[in-house]
């Protein structure tokens, strides 16, 4: 383990914290605290059309209700736009990024993977793609072992700024994890494939990449994860004890003794935490 472990939880304020989000938050928290590390909170608020007013504060209060207290001040991605733009400008100056106006229909006609054709056209508008000189197609997950992705997908020049002018997730998450000094990312297995894209950016930017742990997703049926977009029910922050026990069971951890002070339950969960006991499956069905 690094001398100073730094983990994080990075929700988007598109709705209240649901059970799937609680699993990700709890898993990352227990991992960080079990190795005497820090646990940071980042609000990924760079997609205004999807954001819900008051959701960020609601998520933070819910985390506190579950005894999940973060270190340092929460970071808001919306405060980091200048850093993203500076990196984009540097990439363009180095001929490592270019504009693309291809539609989804056109990319589908290419076989579903963009073929880089816009690099030669030198357009001055559209989405911005990175010249993916790294093309990382595999990585080691601290829970799952070696993970491999499709080589064509891995080599694709992917979007790092959207055509509507909003910042793209891949660029922002890499720059922010590096900025915060994150040493290990613990998150859901829906992000397994894009980890390779993020690792490609780490190489292109010549940054040290963190370790990775991808937790199983809570799904109501195969391929249908609990999410804010699917109107998942918010966890009950006023009565958190039962949801905490269910989240521990989902992570295949021992349940803890009931206590009115939930912080004491979390403290016991940290002492009992065993990474190796978590399922390596990408998803687990729940009722």
Q: Is 9 annotated as a binding residue?
A: yes
Task: Give the least confident one: 117-126, 234-243, 245-254, 266-275.
Answer: 117-126
Does residue 161 belong to any structural domain of this protein? Answer: no
> What phi and psi values does residue 58 have, to the nearest 5 degrees?
-65, -45
How does residue 14 score in pLDDT terms, banded at 50, 70 and 90?
Answer: very high
- The whole domain housing 41 covers 6-80+139-145+174-285
Does residue 197 belong to any structural domain of this protein? Answer: yes
Q: Is 100 annotated as a binding residue?
A: yes
How does residue 231 score in pLDDT terms, banded at 50, 70 and 90?
Answer: low
Q: Is 179 annotated as a binding residue?
A: no
Q: Is 114 annotated as a binding residue?
A: yes
Does residue 132 belong to any structural domain of this protein? Answer: no
What per-residue confidence (pLDDT) applies to 83?
98
What per-residue confidence (pLDDT) applies to 222?
79
Q: Is 187 annotated as a binding residue?
A: yes
Q: Is 11 annotated as a binding residue?
A: yes
Q: What are 170's two structure tokens? A: 């891949």
Q: Is 118 annotated as a binding residue?
A: yes
Q: Is 10 annotated as a binding residue?
A: yes
What per-residue confidence (pLDDT) applies to 229?
58
CATH number, domain of 226, equals 3.40.50.620
Mean predicted confidence (pLDDT) in 155-164: 96
Q: Is 222 annotated as a binding residue?
A: no
Q: Is 12 annotated as a binding residue?
A: yes
Query: How many domains, the chain?
Result: 1
Contact 51, 13 (CB under 8 A): yes
Contact 77, 46 (CB under 8 A): yes
How does residue 287 score in pLDDT terms, banded at 50, 70 and 90?
Answer: confident
Contact 141, 213 (CB under 8 A): yes
Q: Which one, of 39, 283, 22, lies nearest residue 181 by Cα?
A: 39
CA atoms within 13 A on the CB side of 147: 26
∠ CA 284-37-216, rounded to 5°: 5
Q: What are 75's two structure tokens? A: 């970071």
Directed axis angle between helix 241-250 and helix 262-272, to 10°? 10
Q: Match 């990449």 to its residue by tokens.
A: 209
Does residue 99 belong to any structural domain of this protein? Answer: no
């Amino acid at each position: 383990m690094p001398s100073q472990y730094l983990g994080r939880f990075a929700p988007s304020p598109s709705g209240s914290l649901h059970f799937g989000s609680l699993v990700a938050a709890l898993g990352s928290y227990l991992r960080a605290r079990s190795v005497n590390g820090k646990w940071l909170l980042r609000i990924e608020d760079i997609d205004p059309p999807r954001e819900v007013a008051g959701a960020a504060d609601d998520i933070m209060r819910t985390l506190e209700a579950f005894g999940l207290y973060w270190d340092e001040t929460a970071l808001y991605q919306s405060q980091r736009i200048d850093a993203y733009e500076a990196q984009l400008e540097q990439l363009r100056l180095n001929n490592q990024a270019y504009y693309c106006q291809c539609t989804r229909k056109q990319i589908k006609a290419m076989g579903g993977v963009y073929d880089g054709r816009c690099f030669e056209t030198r357009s001055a508008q559209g989405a911005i793609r990175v010249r993916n000189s790294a093309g990382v197609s595999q990585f080691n997950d601290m829970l799952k072992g070696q993970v491999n992705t499709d080589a064509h997908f891995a080599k694709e020049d992917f979007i790092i700024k959207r055509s509507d002018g909003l910042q793209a997730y891949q660029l922002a998450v890499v720059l922010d994890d590096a900025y915060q000094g994150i040493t290990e990312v613990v998150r859901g297995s829906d992000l397994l494939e894009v980890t390779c894209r993020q690792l490609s950016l780490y190489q292109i930017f010549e940054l040290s990449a963190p370790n990775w742990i991808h937790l199983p997703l809570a799904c109501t049926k195969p391929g249908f994860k609990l999410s804010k977009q699917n109107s998942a029910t918010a966890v009950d922050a006023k009565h958190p004890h039962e949801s905490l026990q269910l989240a521990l069971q989902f992570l295949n951890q021992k349940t803890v003794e009931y206590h009115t002070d939930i912080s004491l339950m979390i403290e016991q969960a940290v002492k009992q935490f065993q990474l190796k006991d978590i399922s390596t499956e990408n998803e687990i069905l729940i009722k």
